[in-house]
Amino acid sequence: MQSLLDPAILFFVFGVLAGALKSNLEVPPAISKFLSLYLLMALGMKGGFALSQTPFSAQLFASLGAALLMAFVVPALGYQVLRRHVAGFDAAAIAAAYGSVSAVTFVTATQVMEAQGITAPGHMTVAMVLMESPAIVMAVLLASLLRHGNAARPAGAGAAAALPMRRVLHEAFTDGTHLLLLGSLAVGYLGGEAGKAMMQPFTGDLFKGMLAFFLLDMGLLVARHFQAARLQSPVLIAYAVLGPLLHAALALGLAVLLALPVADTALLMVLSASASYIVVPAVLRHAIPEANPSLYFGLSLGITFPMNILLGIPLYVQVAQWVRG
């Protein structure tokens, strides 16, 4: 309950309410873009600073290995479930969205944990980076197989849909947000403790306020897309709600198997339960144009994101403490 009273979370709720009331409150697109870039830069640097003080160990590699495994398991399971209920291209796209991760959900989780006295380890920022792209690549490969096997498609449809794998990989790995996160992580790692002290006003003092402002904007955005999400089939809505819980449970089981500490376990659950609504839609709109964007974007942003922010994160952190504490 205490996490729901966090000012950043309350600003998210306020944004949802303002949007539901059809208020003309809005954050200009340029400022919204700046806030997202700031959060990624600050998150990357904070992770790099912490990583520079973290010795390489078997535990570190176990956490990163678990994250990478979940990055393949989640979209694979999602596709197997979804293809029974929606078209193959839509199943691949939705699976990619849920197999990738949400940086904002991760940032919010680190703030909730720090408020409870749990330090977020820097290597979990690396884990987040590792988990962003595998699902996209898997979805594009699945879409390519579907196109190849669809002998009945209209003439010329394949030419519009096909996109060279080289270009897809380039977009997935050099997307601006992904690249900024990687670069900031490297800068923080190289800067070390001295760099952390110099950047404290930027990455520390401003961070909470900027996150609150960004979550206000996200609340307004969720309110605008919630109606579209509600109109989806009951099966897809159930997947958007229950899928993340199942993914978090799988991550918990893997964390117990590998004896990961509380912080790593909680963040692995958060990452596995989150869904991308920025990087994946940006890449898939070109890579899988046959898929319906309202499905993978509406479900991840309209249902899963608010569920994780309001209920999921406190639940995952609490369960991680119960099981691994």
- Asked whether the beta carbons of 138 and 76 are under 8 A apart, the reply is yes
* Residues contacting 269, CB < 8 A, separation 6+: 248, 251, 252, 255, 316, 319, 320
Q: What is the model's pLDDT at position 47?
A: 86
167 — pLDDT class (breaks 50, 70, 90): low
What's at 115, amino acid-wise? A
Q: What is the model's pLDDT at position 67?
A: 96
Exposed/middle/buried for 160, CB within 10 Å: 0-12, 13-18, 19+? exposed
Q: What is the model's pLDDT at position 160?
A: 41
* Residues contacting 276, CB < 8 A, separation 6+: 96, 97, 100, 101, 102, 132, 135, 300
Domain boundaries along the sequence of the chain: 2-16+28-324
CA angle 43, 19, 285 (to 5 degrees): 60
Which CATH fold would you assign to the domain 2-16+28-324? Na+/H+ antiporter like fold (1.20.1530)
pTM of the model: 0.84
127 — pLDDT class (breaks 50, 70, 90): very high
Residue with the two structure tokens 């996490």? 3
193-221: pLDDT as tens digits: 999 999 999 988 998 899 999 899 989 98
